[in-house]
Structures are given as structure tokens and as C-alpha cells.
Structure 1
Amino acid sequence: MGAGIRRAGPDDRAAVVRLLDEAFQHDPVSSWVLPDEARRREVHHLLMAAFLELALTEGHVDIMEDGSAAALWLDVPADPEDGDDDGPAQLRALVDPDNERVEQIAHLTAAAHPHGRAHAYLMLIAVTPDRQGGGLGAALIAPVLKECDRAGRPAYLEASSERSPRLYERLGFAPLGEPLRLPDGPLMYPMWREPQA
């Protein structure tokens, strides 16, 4: 772990959900999934809480000691077992039952996800809005990428804005295939990072 970074645990749930909610409230993908702004303010935190639980169960969460940034990682095996086909529907039922986009985003990202090699999946990285652009995100994920390099393990993510792929390219990620187009919505940019010497 880098200086000022620690592994999150169950006691950090509320603080990390608040951070994720704040950081992604106006993200293009969150705005597509929950297009009504008032409804997004009501239920977006439930979506972020579901992602956090998945990371705590199937990966890990790193946070800055001061709570200004958090990264949610999943450990993806080379040949994952068939997932829970009801997972996207359960997510929709938990977050916003009348909104098919909650379920749709889960199906679309799962279909775009690469298989065949074990990898670290950066599911979400959040930085408080007043600290964005200052290098906190890169500092937060650098220790995991160094560990990936030592282990010979690739990493994967989906960038959710037009400018973020350039930031990830500086960390060794490269575009992976065509962008994922959300129906009548924004693009997501799958990116892959081979381990580096």
C-alpha cells in the first residue's frame, strides 16, 4: 500500500458509499442509468452500495486515509463460473424496480467484459469532486498496478467519460475493442493493461 492508502473494511461502508454517490452523481453513465435527476438523488446511493458490497465480497476496496478517494477492485478468474443470471434483475429490484436501465447496464458491461485470463478489474474509482484532477486516483490505483506487474497479471476497466481514457493510458491501459455504446446514451471505453516489466 502506498502512503496514506489503506484497505477498506465493513466499518467503512457508509463513508465509501457517500463518496461514490457524490463522485458519480453527475457521471455520464449514472446519468444515463438514472436520467431523472430527482430520482437519481433518491436511489443512486443504493446502486453504489451494491457495487461496494460486490467489491468487498469478490475483491477489495482501497481508500485514502482522509476519505478523499476510493477504488473498488474485483479479482476475476481466467474462466469465471457462470454468474448469477438473476444478478442484474436483483440489482434492478434493489435500486429502482421500475427502471430497466439498471438491469440493462449490468448485462451490457458483463457482455463486454473480457474472459480467458485472470485479471484485476477496476470496477469504480471515486475522488471527491473538489479533489479531482490532482492525481489522487492515479496514486490510489498505482500500488495495485505494481502488484499486477509483479504477479504478471493484467488489469481491466471501463472508462465512463470521454476524457478518462487519456488518464488511464498514462497508467499503461490501452483501448480494448470498440467503445460500448449505451442505447441512446454515452459511450463507455473498455481498457486493458498488460503487466509491465
Structure 2
Amino acid sequence: MLVTAFMDDPVMVWFDPQPRARERRLTRLFEHVLEKHLPRGTVWTNDEHSAAAVWVPPGTPVTASDVRFYLSLYADRLPKGLFWALFVESRRPRFPHWLLLYLGVAPERQGRGLGGTLLDAGLARANVDGLPAYLVASSPGSRRLYERHGFRVQREVRLMRGPPVWPMLREAR
């Protein structure tokens, strides 16, 4: 489901303009992400599995295994991959926070509040911890969704010959 949800995402299209290559890369990406985060209990989905949110709790390290995986995943797109990795890490808050890594809804189920419901669940967890939440919005539509849920744009950044993205923060509540 996450693969289909992200097939038309501007950042994913920027990485892989060809749909078949994009689908292969997204499949590998989400296999890795779910393998890492499902055991932590920070992947939330609805009953039909038509929507999912992947949250990263504060203090979760990026491991050497993660670095090796991402280098292999983007080996043929290394300049873009390195640019994205440096961009993401350089803008991430240095204080404890919850990171919304991915939020996706199956295309045929979008616009029904599923993403917002999962977003609220993660934000409720951040509230229990008294911590802010951070994410990078990759489309104008996702930016509007996150703004409705209390996130504020930190700045707009245009990727190297690519689309704009918006690092966003929601203060602790």
C-alpha cells in the first residue's frame, strides 16, 4: 500500500522519473522501513491497511546498517541520495522529537480522513511524551494536511533541480 501511495509523490518522482524503477526502489525502501519500525510498535495502520503512518521515536539512531542500505538503494542516484540525506539530517531538530517518516493512504481511499486519523494518533503519543513532532512535507496537499494538524513550515526548500519540500514542526502540547 505504501508503494502505491507514494508512486506519484513529487520527491519519489524526482528520484525516479521512470515508474517501473520508482516502484522497484519504493518496494525495497518500504520493506526496509517496515522491517526496522514494525518491531518498535511505531507503525500505525487502519483496519483495512489502506493507510499507514511510520513514526520514529526520539533517540532512534541511524545505524551503520541503515547507511549501507540507503547507499545501496540510491547507488545509481548517489548525488540525489546524498543531497536528500544531507538535507534531511541538517534540518532535523537537535532536540528530542517524534519524526513522522512516512504517512500514506491508498490512492482510492484518499480524501476520507484516514491520514488525518493516523496523524492524530501519532501526535497524541508525542503529546503524552510532551515532545514536538517533525516531518518533511513533499507535496502541497500533504503540507496543507499537516498545517491543519498544527504543523508549521520552517522554510521552503527546493531540491536540486527538483520540487519544493517543507520541513515542518509541531510544537509540544
TM-score by length of 2: 0.87
Change (3 A) 1:39 1:144: closer
Equivalent residue number for residue 179 of structure 1 = 156
Q: Which has the higher helix share?
A: 2
Following superposition, the deviation at residue 24 of structure 1 comes to 0.2
1:30 to 6, 12, 18: 12
1:48 to 7, 30, 49: 30
1:161 to 133, 139, 143: 139
Residue deviations 1:65-119, cap 9 Å, x none? 1111000000123xx76x44674453131x243221334322321122111x211
Residue deviations 1:138-172, cap 9 Å, x none? 11121221232233111111111022222111111
Change (3 A) 1:86 1:148: closer
The share of aligned pairs that are identical, in percent, is 34
2:91 to 112, 117, 125: 112
> How many Å separate the matches in 2 of 1:168 and 1:134?
15
Structure 1 gaps of 5+ residues are 1-18
Following superposition, the deviation at residue 57 of structure 1 comes to 5.7
Partners of 2:55 and 2:122 within 8 A in 1: no
Equivalent residue number for residue 55 of structure 2 = 73
TM-score by length of 1: 0.78
Q: Secondary structure at the match of 1:98?
A: helix
> How many Å separate the matches in 1 of 2:82 and 2:31?
15
> How many Å separate the matches in 2 of 1:111 and 1:53?
25
Change (3 A) 1:55 1:68: same
> How many Å separate the matches in 2 of 1:85 and 1:99?
20
Larger radius of gyration: 1
> How many Å separate the matches in 1 of 2:97 and 2:41?
11
Change (3 A) 1:162 1:106: same
Change (3 A) 1:54 1:111: farther
Q: Secondary structure at the match of 1:153?
A: coil
